[in-house]
Copies of this chain bind each other. A is one copy, B any other.
Amino acid sequence: MQEIKKRKTTGQITLFDVARYAGVGTMTVSRALRTPDRVSDKLRQKIQIAVDALGYKPNVAASLLASASANRVIAVITPKIYDHCAQLWLNSLQTHLAKEGYTTLLIESYHYYKLESQMLDALYSHNLEAILLFQVEDESFIKQILQSKIVPILNIGKDYDGLTNMNVGIDDSLAMYMLTEHVIKKGYQHIGLLCANQEYQIFQQRLHGWHKAMLAYHLPTHRVINAAKPANFSTGSELLPDMLLNWPELDALICTTDELACGVLYECQRRHIRVPYQLAVTGFGDNEFSQVSFPALTTVALPYKEIGEYSASLLLDNLKNKKVTHETDLSALAPVVRLRASV
Contact = CB atoms under 8 A, between A and B. Distances in A.
Size category of the A interface is 35 or more
Instruction: Kindly report how many copies of this chain are found in the complex they form together.
Output: 2
Interface in A54-110: 55, 57, 59-62, 64-65, 68, 71-73, 81-82, 87, 94-95, 98, 101, 103-108
Given A106-B106, A150-B57, A115 B98 contact: yes
Contacts of A126: 60, 73, 126
Contact of A101 (B98, B118, B269): B118
A107 B104 CA distance: 7
Contacts of A72: 122
Contacts of A82: 81-82, 87
B61 A232 contact: no
Interface string A287-320: 0110111100000000000000000000000000
A148 interface: yes
Contacts of A293: 233, 266
B94 A127 contact: no
Given A65-B59, A71-B125, A122-B72, A233 B87 contact: no
Given A234-B292, A266-B292, 9 more contacts: A60-B125, A61-B62, A61-B127, A65-B65, A72-B122, A81-B87, A98-B112, A233-B293, A266-B294
Interface of A: 10, 55, 57, 59-62, 64-65, 68, 71-73, 81-82, 87, 94-95, 98, 101, 103-108, 111-112, 115, 118-119, 121-127, 148, 150, 232-234, 236-237, 259, 262-263, 266-267, 269-270, 288-289, 291-294
